[in-house]
Amino acid sequence: MAEPVPRRPLARPAAAGQLDLLPPPVGSRTVPAVPVVPAVAATAGTAAGARELWLAAYLPGLAFEALQDEFASTGPRAVLEGTERSLQVLLVDEAARCLGIRPGLSLVAALALSTELETRVREPARERAWLERAAELAFRYSSRVSLEPPDGLLLEIRGSVRLFGGLEALCRGFEAECRASRLHPVCAVAPSPLAALAGARAGRALRVTSLGRLAGALAPLPLAALRWDEDTLGRLASIGVRTLGEVLRLPRAGFARRFGAPRLALLDELAGRRAAVRRGFQPAERFRGRCEPDYELESLEAVLAALEPLLTDLEHFLETRQRGVTLLRCHLRHRDRPPTSCLLRLARPEARAARFADLLRERLGTLTLPAPVRRCELRTGALLARPLANRVLWGAGERGGEGASEEGFALIEQLRARLGRDGVYALGLHADHRPECMVHPLEPPTGGAAAASAALAAAALPWSATRRPLWLLAAPQALRERHGLPVHDGALELVRGPERIESGWWDGTDIERDYYVACDARRAWLWIFRERAAPHRWFLHGFFG
């Protein structure tokens, strides 16, 4: 594999001098079916290449699309390129085109044609970000996506064709999704990545699935689609080579001598004779989105409306990764106040935009905005594996219906969104003799593990726990005394006791108490205690009711 390039001439070499004698190829049909790929070229690289199928998406308008949010008007707009001294028009919109402004014009000439022309200088960083956005979209269609900066994408789609209902449906689906994100790609499909890219750059919607047809399909494409430097293209043009078909028919040895072995290797990649290695695109591990509306947002409803597209992006981001998040941070920035931020914690990984919107509504409803909002930012915590949703025949609560699963966690999240994290909890039992230490708020259990531990705790209760009250006061309440006996709405009758609880000397919150069951005048059953240490005060600690 290290030396796959066959250095020997092709089986039917076409000498450079003979080129003029051949009829110029006008369309793919005039080109011989198997003109280039010789039998000897079937190297390991070719075999590997035959199993791959590449979709190239070329974004000719990326420089413009990356800046479309920046333009203030919808009138004639143009993106410029070049140094400050010599700015040139790079891309124009439809309105500018109608005014006669063409790519390549100088800025001065363009402004002479229309004074209303709104211009922006291209921003490569933004273009890169938008290209990565397109790559995110592409992840729905393939797990092997690579960027071809500055304006191309490659997807390996052999495995996805059937899933998406055929090649054409897949391409159309991807294009539609890009258009929804305001990107306009040209898509081409070929068994080799370079060929697909060349096809897309040439503006041809190639749909070549077999290596046998590749050379024929490539033949009419202009050489410029390879994006070689001007010098090389000029030299090739001077010997009459202007299309890919023509360059592929040049004798290998001569080509390598004149233009170098690396270019020959590129041609082999183009024709699928040599496997091409692409660096995979690594999608971001966290989601970060922000929106900066043109006007300040005064009401909560407006903020939520502004967040909606971000949440949709987030849903898409999570969907393509089949992941969910349990942590979502929302920052609302004001003009000259510290930002308002809210943190959304979910009981389990979630990916649906509608669900996030519901929770944010509850959560933001508890906040008051100190000033109008200028910018909204959304960030997620780490991505987590998300259990896929089940569809069940029965509704919740019906026989066989899933109970505390999906809706159960939704309920907890919704309650927590408004009441805060501590507003909803489960009860835990802690192995201790001190009553106040036995109460132990817990995260609501999400599975069998918690159930098992609670059952264990119950089995390990050291004493007859029915002798404990159902209610405990958060803090013992001191009782008044009359003739040495405690009083609570009248005299208390001590029914049972004392039960001595002495514990906790090791952690500084030790207690020494004698507990009694008492009955008051209204027949409420109380759990009271008397401190063993002086001054032997009485306290109310619980109700049996």
Q: Which residues bind another protein (CB under 8 A)?
A: 395-398, 400-405, 407-408, 410-412, 414-415, 418-419, 422-429, 435, 438-441, 444-445, 450-451, 454-455, 457-458, 461, 464-474, 495-496, 517, 522-525, 542-545
Which CB, 112 or 465, lies closer to another protein? 465
Pairing of strands 88-92, 118-121: unpaired
Distance CA 317, CA 284 (A): 9
Which CB, 39 or 474, lies closer to another protein? 474
C-beta of 506: minimal distance to another protein in Å?
Answer: 21
Which CB, 177 or 362, lies closer to another protein? 362
Distance CA 385, CA 207 (A): 36
Which CB, 301 or 443, lies closer to another protein? 443
SS3 373: strand
C-beta of 511: minimal distance to another protein in Å?
Answer: 16
Which CB, 471 or 505, lies closer to another protein? 471
Pairing of strands 152-156, 88-92: unpaired
Query: Quick check: 77 and 95 in contact, CB under 8 A?
Result: yes
Which CB, 115 or 466, lies closer to another protein? 466
Distance CA 2, CA 4 (A): 6
Which CB, 149 or 420, lies closer to another protein? 420
Rg of the chain over CA atoms, in angstroms?
37
C-beta of 512: minimal distance to another protein in Å?
Answer: 20
C-beta of 184: minimal distance to another protein in Å?
Answer: 44
C-beta of 162: minimal distance to another protein in Å?
Answer: 38
Query: Quick check: 387 and 405 in contact, CB under 8 A?
Result: no
C-beta of 462: minimal distance to another protein in Å?
Answer: 10
SS3 284: coil
Q: What is the DSSP string of 39-69?
A: GGG--HHHHHHHT--EEEEE-TTHHHHTTTT
C-beta of 540: minimal distance to another protein in Å?
Answer: 11
Q: What tokens were used for 198?
A: 């060349």
Which CB, 199 or 542, lies closer to another protein? 542
* Neighbouring C-beta atoms of residue 167, cutoff 10 Å: 18
Could you tell me how many residues make up the chain?
A: 545
Closest-CA residue to 104 (of 71, 68, 67, 79):
79
Q: How buried is 191 (Cβ within 10 angstroms: 0-12 exposed, 13-18 middle, 19+ buried)?
A: buried
C-beta of 388: minimal distance to another protein in Å?
Answer: 19
Q: What tokens were used for 97?
A: 């085109």
C-beta of 527: minimal distance to another protein in Å?
Answer: 8
Kindly give, in sequence order, each residue whose CB lies less than 8 Å from that of residue 225, ignoring residues fewer than 6 positions away.
197, 198, 199, 201, 202, 244
C-beta of 478: minimal distance to another protein in Å?
Answer: 16
Which CB, 26 or 495, lies closer to another protein? 495
Distance CA 539, CA 138 (A): 68
Closest-CA residue to 152 (of 125, 132, 123):
132
Closest-CA residue to 140 (of 170, 183, 169, 167):
170
Pairing of strands 77-81, 118-121: parallel
Which CB, 60 or 445, lies closer to another protein? 445
